[in-house]
Each structure stands twice: as structure tokens, then as C-alpha cells.
Amino acid sequence: MIKRSVLTIVFVMLFSHGFSQDFTALAPTPPMGWNSWNRFGCDVDENMIMEMADAMAVNGMKDAGYEYIVIDDCWQVARDSAGNIVPDPERFPSGMKYLADYIHEKGLKFGIYSCAGSRTCQGKPGSRGYQFQDARQYAVWGVDYLKYDWCSNEGQNAEAAYKTMSDALKVCGRPIIFSICEWGESEPWKWAKNVGHLWRTTPDIRNIYEAEINWGGLGIVNIIDQQADLWRYAGPGHWNDPDMLEVGNPGLTEDENITHFSMWAMLSAPLMAGNDLRDMDKDVLEILTNPEVIALNQDPLGNQAIRFLDMGDHEIWVKLLENDELAVCFMNRSQDDWKLKYDWKRINIYHKGAINFSKQNYTIRDLWQHKQLGETEDILKSVIPSHGVLLVHLKMKDK
């Protein structure tokens, strides 16, 4: 009897250890995909979701690394008499398993949304009290990603509430990425590393360049400002999430889209597209699938960029990459062109060690023009448009 219970304990320990290892290994680099909210809000249905999967599979996004198709709020309408969550029968008549299978057949993964409160932000049933039942249901459907919101939280402790759902996912029998959407209220970067794979750091993003409107949402650069001090909390398996992309949605100019995408790449942010993938300009697709910019976002070291120089309207951000390479983003927040003349040798970069451009020469590559721009021993000259960036990749010359 004693022997058997010891064996059971050992078995459970081995099993749960193996499973939680799988859990932390699920997002070694920032997740990439698409989410319905920014463009469609509550107007979601299975045909539209399948069309997004169709588009992603063939338009170059899947080849560029995009993987998850996530339905945000409003897919769920009730609980049945056994407490099971019920998808909207009019909008999702074929059910969630059918949708998951369809998406998996395209070589993509399937994500869903719920909330730690008893109601979602749009008043649909949340999962408070049903966490383990819901997680098991997601596993049966074939869900690979859960975004978990914080409306109607009824004063719960955030860490405990998210840990409950995390525990439920860890034992549901299927690896599921856990995307914490608590808007940064209780500084999840300090406690969520082993709870989820990514955590929102701010209120919702808006498709505007600059506007500090807090609960009505934040502009792109206001969100960027709020990431500057968080670099130490990001790394493989656990990412700061400055919210989903607005690239391609009305409201941003082409330069602003480029800045938005460049900076999300620099910040090692999850790249969740939020536009209509079925109907996209060539320019927008080129931004979302730029392989050189995606490579720096997906760099295996998982370093989040630091704001190395803040000169008001002009900023310089640096992200350390593997093989002693680095990415540098010159960001122009002003209304005017930035006539850049940058002497690399005048100032060392001190971050996890020192980069001394007087001692070491680097080649410079422009990641939007896809061309070499000389070397760091020379002065870099460029005209950066209003609200635009110059994004470069540096490699040691003699390496």
C-alpha cells in the first residue's frame, strides 16, 4: 500500500514535471499570428476565421513565421446545464473542433479568448469558477493558445487568478500558450514568468500614432514609452506584450506602420497581426512579412531592446542579438525630417557589456531598404521622415 502510493507520487512528479517543462518551452521566441479584435471587434464568425487561415497559409505570412489564428471576444454565448461553455450557434454552427481541425489542416494553430472574471469585456460568459472545465474543453477542441482577459474580475488577486488558469492549462492534456491580458495593472512582469508566456503591459492599443488616452486606448508611441523600463523581464518563454498590431488598419501612415512593426520587433513583442488578411495592400503585406525585421524579433537570445539615447523627439534603441550582432533603431517622433549624422565612435553602448565603436568596426545593413549602408567607422548619414525610423543591423566587420 505504502509502496504503491510512493510510486504514484513519483509518477505524478515525473509526469507533471515533464508537462510543465513542455509548458515553459512553448514560446521560445515571441509568438506570431493573427487576432480578430483590433479589426473586427465582436463581428466574428467561422467563415471569416477560416478565410483568415486560408489567407495566412498562402499569402507569405505562414512562410514568414506566423502561426496562430486567434478568435478574440464574443465567440461564446452561454453555459449549458453541465456548465460547459457554448459557442454562438449562429456564428459558429460547425463548432470549435471543426474550426480547429480546419486551421490545423492549413499547418496553422488555433487560439481562443476567455476572461478571469465572470463576464468577458463584452459581457459574454467568462471562466471564473470554470477554469479547469474550460481548459479541458479547449484541449478537446484542439485549442493551442488562450488569451485571458481581466474584465469583471470582481476584485480578485490577479496573480492568483491567472495562476489558477495556468494550473488548469498545465493539466488539461494539451500544450496551450497562455496569453495574460491584465493590461499591466498589477505589474505582471514581476510575477507572471512561470504563469504565462506573454502578458499585456498596457491598456488597449489604438490605431493612432500618438494619443495618451489611457482607458480609451493608447497610441503607438505612448505604448512604446511604457516598454522602455521593462526590458529586463522579457526572455525566451516569457514576453512583455505591448498589444496586438494595428499595421494595415486605417489610421496609420506607411511610415507609422513601419515604425510600429520595427519597434515591436525591437521589443521582442509577440507579433499578432490585427488587420484583414483577406484584403491587404502589397505595402502592408511587405511590412508584416519583412524577413529581416522578423529575424530580429525572433532572435534566439530574446533580448528586449533598450532605449539607449532619448533626445526627446529623436530616440535610439538597441537590441543585442546572437553572435555579438545588434539591431539599432533610430526613431523620429517629430513632425519634421531627422537629418541624421551619426558618429558611432563618439559614444559607447553600455548594456550587458560595452560596445566600443572605436575599437570594433561593424557593417551596417538597412532592414527596410535591404541594402548595406557602410560601416560604423564612418559617419552614418540619413534622412528619417517624420514618425519614421531607420532600422539597421550591425555585424562585426572581421567576424
Under the rule (CB under 6 A), what is the footprint of ligand GLA?
Answer: 37, 72-73, 120-122, 149, 181, 204
Cβ closest to ligand GLA, residue 121 vs residue 247: 121
Q: How many CA atoms lie within 13 A of 237 on its CB side?
A: 11
What CA–CA distance (Å, rounded) separates 29 from 75? 28
Query: Which residues are paired to 8 by β-bridges?
Result: none
Catalytic residue among 45, 72, 134, 149: 149
Cβ closest to ligand GLA, residue 121 vs residue 367: 121
CB of 242 to ligand GLA, least distance (A): 12
Written as one letter, the residue type at 271 is: L
Residue number of the CB closest to ligand GLA reads: 121
CB of 50 to ligand GLA, least distance (A): 21
Dihedral of the alpha carbons of 178, 183, 187, 188, in degrees to the nearest 10: 0
CB of 388 to ligand GLA, least distance (A): 27
CB of 258 to ligand GLA, least distance (A): 23
CB of 298 to ligand GLA, least distance (A): 23
Cβ closest to ligand GLA, residue 116 vs residue 320: 116
Cβ closest to ligand GLA, residue 183 vs residue 209: 183
Query: Residue 150 contacts by C-beta under 8 Å, 6 or more apart in sequence?
Result: 115, 116, 117, 158, 181, 182, 183, 185
* 373-391 b/e (C-beta count within 10 Å ≥ 16 → b): bebbeeebebebbbbbbbb
Known catalytic membership, residue 204: yes
Cβ closest to ligand GLA, residue 45 vs residue 204: 204
Cβ closest to ligand GLA, residue 200 vs residue 393: 200
CB of 368 to ligand GLA, least distance (A): 28
What CA–CA distance (Å, rounded) separates 399 from 395? 8
Give the number of other Cβ atoms within 10 Å of residue 121's Cβ: 19
What CA–CA distance (Å, rounded) separates 365 from 346? 20
Dihedral of the alpha carbons of 170, 171, 174, 176, in degrees to the nearest 10: -20
Catalytic residue among 72, 204, 225, 299: 204
Known catalytic membership, residue 283: no
Query: Residue 176 contacts by C-beta under 8 Å, 6 or more apart in sequence?
Result: 26, 135, 138, 139, 143, 144, 145, 146, 169
Q: Looking at the annotation, which residues are catalytic? A: 149, 204
